[in-house]
Amino acid sequence: MSDAPLPDPADARLPGRRLAAARAARGLTITEIALRLKFAPRQIEALEADRYDALAGPAFVRGMIRAYSKLVGEDADALIAALRASPLTAAGPTVTGPRAIGVAIPRRPRRGSMVYVVLSALVVIAVAGVVGEWLLRPVAPPKSAATRLALPTQPLGVAPVPAPAAAPAAPAAPRAAADVAPAAAPGPVETVVNARRIELDFDRESWVEIRDAEGRVVFSQLNRPGTRREVEGVAPFSIVIGNAHGVKLRYNDSDVDLMPYTRTDVARLTLK
Amino acid sequence: MLGFLRAYFSDDLAIDLGTANTLIYVRGKGIVLDEPSVVAIRQEGGPNAKRTIQAVGKEAKQMLGKAPGNITVIRPMKDGVIADFTVTEQMLKQFIKKVHVSRLLSPSPRIIICVPCGSTQVERRAIRESAIGAGASQVYLIEEPMAAAIGADLPVAEATGSMVVDVGGGTTEVGVISLGGMVYAGSVRVGGDKFDEAIINYIRRNYGMLIGESTAEMIKKEIGSAFPGSEVREIEVKGRNLAEGIPRSFTISSNEVLEALTEPLNQIVSAVKSALEQTPPELGADIASKGMVITGGGALLRDLDRLLMEETGLPVIVAEDPLTCVVRGSGKALEKMDKLGSIFTNE
């Protein structure tokens, strides 16, 4: 507004000039008007001089003109129209929010929730590690094959087992294996499968149970007289034969005499 | 993000849901509705007995005090807040239907609605929900002094104190605004309705005559004043004589009306003084220099500005077109709704 051209002092159309003239006609002073309207005399002087930039703003200038015109008996609407037509009128304030830099303050997460975030991340990482490990682990060969690979080559034949008791025979087997192992260890691991065949001929009714090297029962049943059975598996075998007098045993095409292992008609022996 | 699409298709509305009048501003069109907040409801009899809306707005107001037994004329707003939720919702729905053209592609309007600054959360929620029930997609609330200040072209966003006194139908709101926010907000449940009530009571007490609300309002508009002036005016009024029980006419003067209005006017003066007492001194200095601005229908009461001037010793200015200040301010806020988050109130 300060850039606007100065008003012509003789321009009687301006609202301030008209109000001043009306006041003078009524014989009132600026001080009396200021007292009635509760404005400061300098504000009344500014209004009469049409120096609107010295006043609070367009809305207030219009309000002052209305109040002043009512006091001196002027037509307020005509004065407001003259004000709007004058080049000194500035546009009213535009509706804006207060001026701001416009940087949004980030919402800081609370410490408590941060702890939960960290803990959750750790749990997720741990679970991901376990799952990855499980998915990426090398596929292990079947256990039986591994066993077979680990077994050293055994000479064919029946290992002599102390005759009197079958009970000591069981501990004897691991010992024998232990004896063999150091011998085999220096050399390359042999991949020959240690499979053996047992043939049984029954003259009398007999019950037979055969366990293989891993202790699994590979054969267990009651056999009728005159029958023949063949069993294959991984040596050494642990064998129990009932009614042993009526049974002939062949191991890898060699006859095995059951008499030394028989006690009260039950033979217990280990075949290597 | 799709605000420009919504602005293109939807006519958003700003509503001054006042105790006496409801005004609606449509984006891009200006004030399109100004009707009294009155609803006439007809109670039907017979086998299909139901309540139907007979009229709303001006038509309903003409029925006020003249309706037969089966028509109830209700003013659903009282003291600036909702007194009858269902009827308010129906009234809003009817008003919105008048101004909002329902097209196939047009979404439900977003609505800015004014609330008294002294209203409780429950009262604000009731206003919000009645607007949603009337078809709004979203409702934003703005406090009346803020809307009135924007409507009166006050520099609300600047670092200077602006004081606005909005004398409405049910409440008088006093607000001190600076930097786009309310520094002080006060509200007294005194307004145009209380003025009418005071005139009715005065005439009954002093003349033994009973007059209706419409007559009291007419007396207030014709000869009511808030400050004794040199000119004394008179008006002839007709009412029912309480002793005889028959209609009589009598004459009442402006000085008598002033006497009748003394009590509610004193409450308004007290509210303004209380606001000035609690205003920070820097802002008080701004107000002392620029003056306070009166808006609302009550500002049309003769010499109310003079009364406040004499009582406070501060300059007082009556806003231009004070009746529509609040809705014009809400309309200005509506035009820039997406950028003016700070002026709306949260619940």
Q: ipTM of this predicted complex?
A: 0.75
Residue of chain A nearest B320, judged by CA positions = A63
Q: Cβ contact (<8 Å) for B317 and A67? A: yes
How many angstroms away from the CA of A30 is the closest CA of chain B? 15
Give the number of C-alpha atoms closer than 13 A to the C-alpha of residue B102, restricted to the C-beta side. 9
Q: Cβ contact (<8 Å) for A95 and B290? A: no
* E strand segments, B203-259: 209-210, 234-241, 247-253
* Other Cβ atoms closer than 10 A to B133: 15
Strand order from edge to edge, sheet including B181-188: B181-188, B172-178, B162-167, B292-295, B316-318
Q: Which residues pair with B165 in a beta bridge?
A: B174, B294
How many angstroms away from the CA of A110 is the closest CA of chain B? 24
Q: Could you tell me the CA-to-CA distances from B105 to B101, B131, B167 in Å, in that order?
A: 11, 21, 40
pLDDT single digits (tens) A39-67: 889 999 999 998 888 888 888 888 889 88
Q: Cβ contact (<8 Å) for B319 and A59? A: yes
Q: Cβ contact (<8 Å) for A67 and B316? A: yes
Q: Is A98 on the interface with B (CB under 8 A)?
A: yes
**Residue tagged 């750790």 (tokens):** A122
Q: Cβ contact (<8 Å) for A38 and B152? A: no
Q: Which two tokens stand for residue A12?
A: 């009687």
| SS3 call for A27 | coil
For residue B152, what pLDDT is reported? Answer: 92
Residue of chain A nearest B304, judged by CA positions = A67
Q: Cβ contact (<8 Å) for A92 and B342? A: no
Across the range A83-99, mean pLDDT stands at: 67
Nearest by CB to B291, from A63, A92, A96: name it.
Answer: A63
CB-based contact B184:B177 (threshold 8 Å): no
pLDDT single digits (tens) B96-130: 888 877 666 667 788 999 988 888 899 899 889 98
Q: Cβ contact (<8 Å) for B154 and A93? A: yes
Domain with CATH 2.60.40 in chain A: 195-271
B182 vs A271: which has the higher pLDDT: B182
Does the pTM surpass 0.90? The reply is no
Residue of chain A nearest B318, judged by CA positions = A63
Nearest to B328 by CA among B166, B157, B88: B166
Nearest to B169 by CA among B327, B21, B291: B21
Q: Is B183 on the interface with A (CB under 8 A)?
A: no
**Sign of the CA dihedral running A122, A128, A129, A134:** positive
For residue A9, what pLDDT is reported? Answer: 52
Q: Which two tokens stand for residue B321?
A: 């077109």
For residue A135, what pLDDT is reported? Answer: 87
H or E element that contains A60:
helix A58-72
Reply yes or no on domain A9-85 having CATH 1.10.260.40.
Answer: yes
Give the number of C-alpha atoms closer than 13 A to the C-alpha of residue B119, restricted to the C-beta side. 30
Q: Is A56 on the interface with B (CB under 8 A)?
A: yes
Q: Cβ contact (<8 Å) for B157 and A67? A: no
Q: Is A93 on the interface with B (CB under 8 A)?
A: yes
Angle between the N-to-C axes of helices A76-85 and A58-72, in degrees from 0 to 180, rounded to the nearest 10: 140
Nearest to A199 by CA among A251, A157, A267: A251
Chain B residues lying within 8 Å of A80, measured CB to CB: 320
How many angstroms away from the CA of A102 is the closest CA of chain B? 11
Contacts made by residues B26-32, CB under 8 angstroms, sequence distance 24+: B26/B99, B26/B100, B27/B331, B27/B334, B27/B335, B30/B331, B31/B324, B31/B327, B31/B328, B31/B331, B32/B99
Angle between the N-to-C axes of helices B325-335 and B144-151, in degrees from 0 to 180, rounded to the nearest 10: 90
pLDDT single digits (tens) B195-208: 999 999 999 999 99
Q: Cβ contact (<8 Å) for B290 and A60? A: yes
Nearest by CB to A97, from B154, B318, B340: name it.
Answer: B340
Reply yes or no on domain A195-271 having CATH 1.10.1060.
Answer: no
Taking 70 as the threshold, does the pLDDT of residue A98 lie above it? no
Taking 90 as the threshold, does the pLDDT of residue A231 lie above it? no
Q: Could you tell me the CA-to-CA distances from A78 to A11, A140, B320, B346 in Å, in that order?
A: 16, 103, 14, 43
| Interchain CB contacts (distance < 8 Å): A and B | 83
For residue A100, what pLDDT is reported? Answer: 60
Q: Cβ contact (<8 Å) for B179 and A98? A: yes
Domain with CATH 1.10.260.40 in chain A: 9-85
Q: Which residues pair with B140 in a beta bridge?
A: B112
Nearest to A90 by CA among A116, A138, A122, A58: A58
Taking 80 as the threshold, does the pLDDT of residue A24 lie above it? yes
Rounded to whole angstroms, how far apart are CA atoms A232 and A218?
8
